[in-house]
Structure 1
């Protein structure tokens, strides 16, 4: 059975991303677009448009043009959107990098994405330099690192600003890739997700059909911009609609709560750990949050009790959204004003979006009322994985259905619920952690014969990576040693948090790890 959105279709938007988002920016003049909450630095919409034009011309003068990939390695800053749109205005593609990534992780992405240039910030420049050196050693290629601020020995992107003209080039929004974020998808290691201008711009219009933001709104930006949720909700959509974005370089609970009240925030987009703080932290009850109208939670499953507690405590509308990087990223969202939606649902299908529920064992549509794997078809489905046609074909079938790897159900009113996962991906506080990546690191240890990783719940309900380790015969190894071995090679959110030693990793005849067997070893409720 094919489920269709109850909302009218939207037109496919075949416009370059920077034009679609910033088309009205100059006309908004001195209206604030971005505010750095730590310094108070404000970028108006007119300034934002001018900075993007100047940097696009500067990048073009440096030889960046159509199809070139620029790596953006930065926490949230007011210049992050400037670099993003300047690159696309010059004809290039932005691949976003986590500011928490290690040099080895960065180098792997730089090589895979075929990046020509890297943009970072001074606190991260040594990590960036080490990564670029690794790229040079492995490929013989070198690349310059620019910084958004100031760092000795490095040029600033602001130094590239000029009044020149970007050379003319043709853009095919349906084909040309605007952003190349990395995602593990349903299985395996991180892969470059090719999101076209059409994908991203049309998804903004799909969202606008259910969830509205306008020039009177003030949006708090604590989600990382490099993550597709933050990039869409806090950058592309907020700036497209003329809202003011209050930029936090990193999440700090006290700063977040202070900003909610002081900056009279109207819209907050958060991940489940922040929802838990909003539900329980004593300081929340002392704040004047009368301006706050909407809280949207996504990036990982949210407990129904926590959602209800936040809505009751704050007296605001609280809802969820659902999607994945490969969906640009949204397919479902809680519609504004739809107070009848049950807690724990992820809302309704976006306009121009179709879905199926498929039995993962048979490949046939699940029986009516029964759960199944969520398949999505619509203009927001990615172009594919960069340089990985086989992975693309395994995720998006010949009929255009993207197999999400999530198990869902839908009720008679069209409310959707995500109830489980087929896929192996671990979601630690909204960050993606690929078991295969951690397993490859584990087995490099001389004391480990084999290993498997699954996600388990910790005491606070967060999903964390747990390693099942088969020790080498006669080689003593401790859990602490296992965790330390991984910790030195990955970003903090990817660390192994628990270890269990076993005699053998359960595997199918094909060699595939039987993770379900490992999950069955876990105590009930863990």
Structure 2
């Protein structure tokens, strides 16, 4: 027996996708590398069609240019000794050559790692020690970070001179013939580490081709023009633009392509100039666009059909504010992890213009909602940990079998660590991170629920809820609050604001006022830093009273 509306099978305890599956892979698709898959699409996109456009300079890279540059770079990297099984680091902000350089490494059977360019030299040092790269492709601006490493430096290839040398040979250059297995490691991307030490996530070519095939199926209209304002070094950007957009034969417009910080006005200008139709984003970008809505009247944004937010849950107030500011734009959310090689839920095909849910499962993946205490699968409308299984799920963590075994069970289920539920329509909602649940006496309190309520207070600019040790209760909910403007709101005001809005065990019992809430670039609250910041603030307050 099953629930047709939600996709739930009560016999198996599994939710299955309600979306139509993509066509079965052709004979070549099932055993191809990512570059082979992307460069053998049928029908292929027009050779002269722009694959990537730099919005600031107007320069572009056609699909033919992309293939040629990938082949030329692969030949040059092969001449430098890069081989199957080697690791290459690409240390670069978004740029036109980024996708071609990435595909050139993958076409040789080498493993590609794309560190965040904002990492400090000491953080890069730890990453190099962990991954042992054969060579590093770095921009001129970022190379000094590598030269200061306290370890023998891998072969350093400067991107700008490297690309200049390729341009000296303008003829067609085939990609070197290297036999790459779909089960070979393809990318090594490091998880954010917001709740623990960052781990290297290994995705295979099979994982990435599976993601590319699904995104081509779901978003496969060549008429779309994508705006790229999220980093390609992150799995969200890499999967959507290097895998999905190329597979769909769509044009990607890079905004802030040389590593500049996100600017809402710059994005609006790019949307108007290049007729962008779909804009993947992270919550801080959505918030900034709403705040800059007055400037929107200076640009023709009529082409923009959808903004897709991912990376962290989007609070209701921000979703509704965006909807008021941009009434003709659909605002949806999607969900994915570095461990799932990109988004595993989408709102595509779901009715409505604003979406609190993260959508439905993409084709080819299955999900369970598992009781965090008993480990048993739960039916619709019950909160539990989201487990995911399917072709996009990673191979495992680099050199960490113990962490891999804890994340993926013997049946291939990935434990996401997110507390979610699936409604009767198959829509998935994120409740909170399981590790961030506050254990108050015998009850579990989800910080995100309290944060959403508190963020509606007119005197609160930003807020995060975390646990505070308590001898009697074990933990109590504590609100870390950033006041708005010149507000004089006090602890008792915040506590009373929640008085009749939540159950007694969920009440805020302590408030700390901060200057800012530490967050990642995607908008996730950095809980470890938050607790340290709150602790320091409390010490200052005690010192001041003494």
Q: TM-score, normalised by structure 2?
A: 0.74
1:80 and 2:86 correspond: no
Deviations 1:141-179 (A, max 9, x none): x312212224xxxxx244257677665432220x20111
- Write the mapping of 1:290-329 to structure 2, written as runs, cut at 5 A: 290-314=302-326, 315-329=328-342
Contact 1:22 1:239 in 2 (8 A): no
Cα pair distance change 1:167/1:292, threshold 3 Å:
closer
Residue 421 in 1 paired to residue 438 in 2?
A: no
Distance 1:384 1:299 in 2: 21
Closer, same or farther: CA 328–463 of 1 in aligned 2, 3 Å: farther
- Provide closer, same or farther for how the CA distance between residues 184 and 418 of structure 1 changes in structure 2, counting only shifts above 3 A: same
Pick one of 178, 189, 210 that aligns with 1:181.
Answer: 189
Q: How big is the shift at 1:353?
A: 1.2
Give the alignment partner of residue 107 of structure 1, picking from 98, 115, 125: 125
1:169 aligns with 2:178: yes
Cα drift, residue 322 of structure 1:
0.5
CA–CA distance in structure 1, aligned partners of residues 364 and 353 of structure 2: 21
User: What is the RMSD computed on CA atoms of the aligned residues?
Assistant: 3.2
SS at match of 2:242: helix
Give the Cα separation in 1 of the matches to 2:188 and 2:357: 29
Distance in 2 between residues matched to 1:402 and 1:186, nearest whole Å: 18
2-side partners of 1:422 and 1:128: how far apart?
37
**Residue number in structure 2 paired with 1:234:** 241
Contact 2:357–2:430, Cα closer than 8 Å, also in 1 = yes
Is the contact made by 1:466 and 1:496 (CA closer than 8 Å) also made in structure 2? Answer: no
SS of residue paired to 1:91:
coil
Residue 219 of structure 2 is aligned to residue 212 of structure 1: yes
Q: CA deviation at 1:261?
A: 1.5
1:222 paired residue among 229, 254, 258: 229
In the superposition, relative to structure 1, how do residues 284 and 390 fare at CA in structure 2: closer, same or farther (>3 Å)? same
Q: Residue 185 of structure 1: CA displacement? A: 6.7
Q: How does 1:366-405 map to 2 (within 5 A)?
A: 366=378, 368-405=380-417
Question: CA-to-partner distance for each residue in 1:70-128, whole Å, 9 max, x for gaps?
Answer: 00111000011111000011221110110110011112112211211101111212112
Secondary structure of 1:419 counterpart? strand
The alignment covers a number of residue pairs equal to 441
Q: Is the 8 A contact 1:220 1:246 kept in 2?
A: yes
CA distance in structure 2 between the partners assigned to 1:340 and 1:4 by the alignment: 22
Paired residue for 1:203?
211
1:214 match: secondary structure: coil
Partner of 2:33: 16
Q: Which of 491, 498, 501 is matched with 2:535 structurally?
A: 501
The corresponding residue for 1:473 is none
- Find the aligned partners of 2:413 and 2:97 in 1 and give their Cα distance: 36
Whole-angstrom distance in 2 between the partners of 1:368 and 1:41:
49
- Residues 439-458 of structure 1: matches in 2 within 5 Å? none
Instruction: For 1:52 and 1:6, locate their aligned partners in 2 and report how far apart those are by CA, in whole Å.
Output: 37
Q: Secondary structure at the match of 2:534?
A: strand
**Separation in 1 of the partners of 2:102 and 2:462?**
35
* 1:256 and 2:267 are equivalent in the alignment: yes
Task: State the shift of 1:204 in Å.
Answer: 2.1
Aligned residue number for residue 134 of structure 2: 116
Residue number in structure 1 paired with 2:491: none
Deviation at 1:243, TM superposition (A): 1.6
Q: Distance in 2 between matches of 1:120 and 1:467?
A: 43
Note if contact 1:26-1:46 (Cα within 8 Å) is conserved in structure 2.
Answer: no
- Displacement of 1:367 in angstroms is 5.5
For the residue of structure 2 that corresponds to 1:274, the secondary structure is helix
CA drift at 1:245: 1.4
State the Cα distance separating 1:417 from its structure 2 match: 0.4
Tell me how far 1:405 sits from its aligned partner. Answer: 0.3
Is the aligned partner of 1:149 residue 2:160? yes
What runs of 5+ residues in structure 1 fail to find an aligned partner? Answer: 137-141, 151-155, 426-453, 469-482, 505-526
After the TM superposition, which of the residue ranges 278-287 and 291-300 deviates more from structure 2?
A: 278-287
1:278, distance to aligned residue in structure 2 (A): 2.5
Residues 72, 97 of structure 1: 8 Å contact kept:
yes
TM-score with structure 1 setting the length: 0.77
Aligned to 1:60: 78
Give the stretch that moved more between structures: 271-280 or 303-312.
Answer: 303-312
Deviations 1:455-511 (A, max 9, x none): 99795447699999xxxxxxxxxxxxxx9xxx9xx9x9979466233899xxxxxxx
Structure 1 residue ranges (4+ consecutive) displaced by more than 3 angstroms after TM superposition: 8-14, 24-27, 160-169, 184-187, 454-468, 492-498, 500-504
Q: Residues 146 and 157 of structure 1 are in contact (CA less than 8 Å); yes or no, is this contact kept in structure 2? A: no
Within the candidate set 35, 43, 49, 2:53 is matched to: 35
Match for residue 280 of structure 2 among 269, 275, 278: 269
Distance (whole Å) between structure 1 residues aligned to residue 193 and residue 534 of structure 2: 26
Residue 353 (structure 1) aligned with residue 365 (structure 2): yes
**Does the residue aligned with 1:370 lie in a helix, a strand or coil?**
coil
Q: Answer with 1 or 2: which has the greater Rg.
A: 2
Write the distance in 1 (CA, Å) between the matches of 2:227 and 2:344: 22
Query: 1-side partners of 2:397 and 2:136: how far apart?
Result: 21
Distance 1:384 1:213 in 2: 29
Where in structure 2 are there 5+ consecutive unaligned residues?
1-12, 438-446, 470-513, 539-546
TM-aligned CA deviation for residue 7 of structure 1:
2.2
Change (3 A) 1:5 1:341: farther
